[in-house]
Amino acid sequence: MPKQKSKADAKGNGASIGYEAQLWQMADALRGSMDAAEYKHVCLGLLFLKYISDAFEEKHAALVAEKAQGADPEDPDEYRAQSIFWVPPEARWPQLKAQARQATVGEIVDGAMAGIERDSPAL
């Protein structure tokens, strides 16, 4: 689908609008024959997982950099102290992304969510 240009694009500032239609088509293709009421739970779950994984990965990188000062990147309390969800290894986004093309991806994501629930008393 060609990219639609906005008035801002015509002015040469690089801004563009029009990606919404393309995102909708991709989401519709992923949904397949699933009812939209059911599909929203899948999408929201994946968005939640990506959001907490991004926050976790950012803190994890900071802790790895501070390892010489005694920081432990695999200590759940390091994350909980800053209200960041501890994400167990099997639920981390790079791990999930690497297995995305597996036929059992649904089970893998379910296991990731179960691991997050198991390790997060707030949930």
**Do residue 28 and residue 38 come from a single domain?**
no
**Do residue 56 and residue 90 come from a single domain?**
yes
Domain containing 67 equals 34-119
Per-residue model confidence as pLDDT tens digits over 42-92? 888 889 999 999 999 999 999 999 999 999 999 999 999 999 999 999 999
Q: What is the pLDDT of residue 5?
A: 46
Q: What is the pTM of this model?
A: 0.70
Token readout for 51 is 């959001």
Sequence-distant contacts of 48-55: CB under 8 A, at least 24 apart: 49/91, 49/93, 49/96, 49/109, 49/112, 49/113, 49/116, 50/93, 52/84, 52/85, 52/87, 52/116, 53/87, 53/91, 53/92, 53/93, 53/96, 54/93, 55/84, 55/85
**Do residue 95 and residue 108 come from a single domain?**
yes
* Total number of domains in the chain: 2
| Mean pLDDT for all residues in the chain | 83
**Do residue 92 and residue 102 come from a single domain?**
yes
**Do residue 25 and residue 51 come from a single domain?**
no
